[in-house]
A and B are shown apart, each in its own frame.
Chain A
Amino acid sequence: MAEFAHHCPVLMVITFLAGAVLTPIVSKSKKKFSFWWAFFVSLLALLFSSCAVWSLYTKGPISYWLGGWEPPYGIEIYFDYISSITFLMTVLGALIILYSKKYIEHDIKEEKLPVYYTLVLLLLCGMVGFSITGDMFNLYVFLEILSLSGYALIAITEEKLTAMASFKYLVMGAVSSMCVLAGVALLYNVTGTLNMSDMALRLQQFEPIATSYMALCLFVVGFCVKAAMFPVHVWLPDAHALAPSPVSALLSGLVIKVGIVGLLRVIYGIYRLGGAIDFTTVTNFMGWLAAITVLVGAFFAFFQDDIKMIFAYSSISNIGYIIMGISLISFTQPERGYLGMVGGLIHIFNHAIIKSTLFLCAGAIIYKTGFRKLSDLRGIGKKMPITCGALTIAALSIAGIPPTAGFICKWFIVLGAIEFGRGIWAAALLIGAIFVFAYYIKIVNAIFFREPAEPILEVDEAPLSMLIPIVILAISCLVFGVFAYLPLAVIKPAAATILGLPPTYIPPGG
């Protein structure tokens, strides 16, 4: 069994990649079969990822040498606490593929179905590979795999302006990938290696030079574009709002988190571990920008009428929370950043679940009514009670009402910010939270407490294959809020190891 778990991380990537390549072949005669194939592939990958995560938490990190070549010469797959996000990716991937069955048949032509599932599987392959690799150049390649399939997925429908949204994302995404590649090149020139842990080791041995700082800045810029932080967020609203709803759920729930995983890998996996370079100037700058991001996202979301546009702007605001949480770090006293790091990591997890629920609910409503403006959707709650109930739970979660999942992360981030002496960041977060609360109340009010308009009266509940993922996700929004110790048990050792503390670290005062 232990032998099998050792191979699981790489098997996840292989499963997704092989599944993606084989999709057009297995569904050659019967296009609709591509759904069952993609669903089967995602369940298989889910099995491998749960095995790998189980092995991680019982036996510690897995280091896998591709082709048996010893690192730093060969490529190393390193499955550590940051990589446990792959479990979230495979679970959400399977649920979103199940949801796509009905939704996407309605949106695109039947002969394009295999293309859609191929791209979704490639996107998942890129994300999983990105999170588990221990090699810098591999990181870049997986980043490009997931970005390219993301651009293509946005433009897969024939709806107007999708190509423009996708192109905007492509140009900004390609520039950010260039920045990441330039950073890899500079670090390779400084250290002469591509393996992350080896890089950290060799950075220790040299005097800190300007090239290493420049590489850090390039990485931060590159990954912040992918994560859609404030000055470089302009691609996100169009891309996430115009994409088909399951794709929006994937992009908002997982793809923007990849930027955060990249930041964690580079800042904490290489520069903190290397220990020779003081990166707090950069993280401080990131934190201030994150505080602005929170406000900007929440502010613009307030003035939108399109429900998917509201959710897209709210994603920007939430990315601000996460980056604020992870940039609360002090170079000399790692334990001071502990609370913020826990909050940031748990918000990666919770925001993925909550935002997927919101986008899937919005998708179910658009699928049934064809409307996406809040003013057209008045009173829809009476006709689609389950979908709108789930939407309400998710909306309360993201606003941070106590018994739901969104509360615990904001609590930790605010505590972390105050403890760190950054009262202004905490204030920005609270003002943002008030805005968020206001606009989600606006949504809940419109769908439940207003008189339905004429065309809404004929609508009934969404099909079962869409309801199952929505209900599972909405229930987990509640469960992970009420039983917050479940995700915390997983995330606390992760936060401690990222900061270089022992996994069993307990902060003073509990």
Chain B
Amino acid sequence: MSVSELFYKLNVNFNYVVAMTLFIIGLYTLISKPNLIKKFMGLNIMETSIFLFIVSSGAIAGGKAPIFGEGVGPETVFVNPIPQALILTGIVVAMSTTALALSLMIKLYEQCGTLNADKLKELK
């Protein structure tokens, strides 16, 4: 594969590249940061990257909302609505995970007095 071909492919599939980069950034944050809240921010970035990946995979340039009505003919291009429906559910799940994690962090702080993962390891 030549360099120009590679650039062409990256350009066409740039949504995948962006999603993958975000995923790696999130994973890196999750693993490397000692602060639990920052760790969880990393997890949220990972979640967002996958949501972006799924939503962008259903999109078509110039696609319309899939509703039948005036101005819709056999040649009209529709956007795939299923990924969007999936991601609505996914966002609800991500939100409840975040809420639970934050409330756990409050409890953790009350019990151990710190949110630093390195110090928590020493507590045991």
A binds B: yes
Chain A residues close to B by CB (< 8 Å): 137, 141, 144, 148, 151-152, 155, 160-164, 166-167, 170-171, 174-175, 178, 181-182, 185, 188-189, 194
Of the listed stretches B61-69, B70-78, B98-106, chain A binds: B98-106
Contact, CB under 8 Å: A174 / B54: no
Q: Which of B53, B82, B100, B105 has the most CB of A within 10 A?
A: B100
Evaluate whether A155 and B89 lie within 8 angstroms (CB atoms) in the complex, with A174-B43, A174-B97 already known: no
What are 25 A-B residue pairs whose CB atoms fall within 8 Å in the complex? Answer: A137-B86, A141-B89, A148-B97, A151-B100, A151-B104, A161-B111, A162-B111, A163-B104, A163-B108, A164-B111, A164-B123, A167-B104, A167-B108, A170-B97, A170-B100, A170-B101, A171-B101, A174-B43, A174-B47, A174-B101, A175-B27, A175-B30, A185-B50, A185-B57, A188-B83
Contact, CB under 8 Å: B105 / A181: no
Q: Which residues of A contact B39 (CB under 8 A)?
A: 171
Q: Shortest beta-carbon distance, A157 to chain B, in Å?
A: 11
Contact of B43 among A162, A171, A182, A188 (CB under 8 A): A171
Chain B residues close to A by CB (< 8 Å): 23, 27, 30, 36, 39-40, 43, 46-47, 50, 53-54, 57, 82-83, 86, 89-90, 93, 96-97, 100-101, 104-105, 107-108, 111-112, 120, 123-124
User: Which residue of A is nearest B16, CB measured?
Assistant: A189
Q: Which residues of B contact A194 (CB under 8 A)?
A: 82
Q: Which residues of A contact B104 (CB under 8 A)?
A: 151, 155, 163, 166-167, 170
Q: Which residues of A contact B112 (CB under 8 A)?
A: 160-161, 163-164
Bound-state CA distance A117–B80 (Å) is 40
Contact, CB under 8 Å: A181 / B90: yes
Q: Which residues of B contact A148 (CB under 8 A)?
A: 96-97, 100
Contact, CB under 8 Å: A164 / B108: yes
Q: Which residues of A contact B100 (CB under 8 A)?
A: 148, 151-152, 170
Q: Shortest beta-carbon distance, B51 to chain A, in Å?
A: 9
Q: Shortest beta-carbon distance, B24 to chain A, in Å?
A: 12
Contact, CB under 8 Å: B46 / A175: yes
Additional A-B contact list (6), CB under 8 Å, known A144-B97, A163-B107, A178-B50: A137-B86, A160-B111, A164-B123, A171-B40, A174-B101, A185-B57
Q: Shortest beta-carbon distance, B113 to chain A, in Å?
A: 11
Bound-state CA distance A151–B54 (Å) is 27
Q: Shortest beta-carbon distance, A155 to chain B, in Å?
A: 6
Bound-state CA distance A164–B50 (Å) is 27
Contact, CB under 8 Å: B111 / A163: yes
User: Which residue of A is nearest B109, CB measured?
Assistant: A163
Contact, CB under 8 Å: B105 / A167: yes
Q: Shortest beta-carbon distance, B119 to chain A, in Å?
A: 11
Majority SS at the chain A contact face: helix
Contact, CB under 8 Å: B46 / A178: yes
Bound-state CA distance A170–B101 (Å) is 7
Bound-state CA distance A229–B83 (Å) is 31
Q: Which residues of A contact B93 (CB under 8 A)?
A: 141, 144
Q: Shortest beta-carbon distance, A215 to chain B, in Å?
A: 12
Evaluate whether A178 and B47 lie within 8 angstroms (CB atoms) in the complex, with A148-B97, A167-B36, A185-B54 already known: yes
User: Which residue of B is nearest A143, CB measured?
Assistant: B93
Contact, CB under 8 Å: B53 / A182: yes
Bound-state CA distance A182–B120 (Å) is 31
Q: Which residues of B contact A174 (CB under 8 A)?
A: 43, 47, 97, 101
Q: Which of A141, A164, A189 has the most CB of B within 10 A?
A: A164
User: Which residue of A is nearest B112, CB measured?
Assistant: A164
Q: Which residues of A contact B124 (CB under 8 A)?
A: 161
Bound-state CA distance A189–B53 (Å) is 10
Bound-state CA distance A171–B54 (Å) is 22
User: Which residue of B is nearest A149, CB measured?
Assistant: B100
Bound-state CA distance A181–B105 (Å) is 25
The 5 A-B residue pairs whose C-beta atoms are closest, nearest first, are A163-B108, A163-B107, A185-B54, A144-B93, A167-B104
Q: Shortest beta-carbon distance, B38 to chain A, in Å?
A: 12
Q: Shortest beta-carbon distance, B36 to chain A, in Å?
A: 7
User: Which residue of B is nearest A167, CB measured?
Assistant: B104
Bound-state CA distance A301–B36 (Å) is 29
Evaluate whether A137 and B89 lie within 8 angstroms (CB atoms) in the complex, with A170-B97, A185-B50 already known: yes
Bound-state CA distance A185–B20 (Å) is 13
Contact, CB under 8 Å: A155 / B107: yes
Contact of B101 among A137, A162, A164, A167 (CB under 8 A): A167
Q: Shortest beta-carbon distance, A486 to chain B, in Å?
A: 39
Q: Which residues of A contact B83 (CB under 8 A)?
A: 188
Q: Which residues of A contact B23 (CB under 8 A)?
A: 182
Contact, CB under 8 Å: B57 / A189: yes
Q: Which residues of A contact B90 (CB under 8 A)?
A: 181
User: Which residue of B is nearest A152, CB measured?
Assistant: B100
User: Which residue of A is nearest B115, CB measured?
Assistant: A167
Bound-state CA distance A181–B23 (Å) is 13
Bound-state CA distance A144–B89 (Å) is 11
Q: Shortest beta-carbon distance, B61 to chain A, in Å?
A: 17
Q: Shortest beta-carbon distance, B116 to chain A, in Å?
A: 12
Bound-state CA distance A171–B39 (Å) is 9
User: Which residue of A is nearest B57, CB measured?
Assistant: A189
Bound-state CA distance A206–B28 (Å) is 35
User: Which residue of B is nearest A178, CB measured?
Assistant: B46
Bound-state CA distance A178–B94 (Å) is 10
Q: Shortest beta-carbon distance, A24 to chain B, in Å?
A: 17
Q: Which residues of A contact B27 (CB under 8 A)?
A: 175
Bound-state CA distance A188–B54 (Å) is 9
Bound-state CA distance A356–B57 (Å) is 44
Q: Which of A155, A175, A178 has the most CB of B within 10 A?
A: A178
Bound-state CA distance A162–B112 (Å) is 10
Q: Which residues of A contact B40 (CB under 8 A)?
A: 171
Bound-state CA distance A188–B83 (Å) is 9
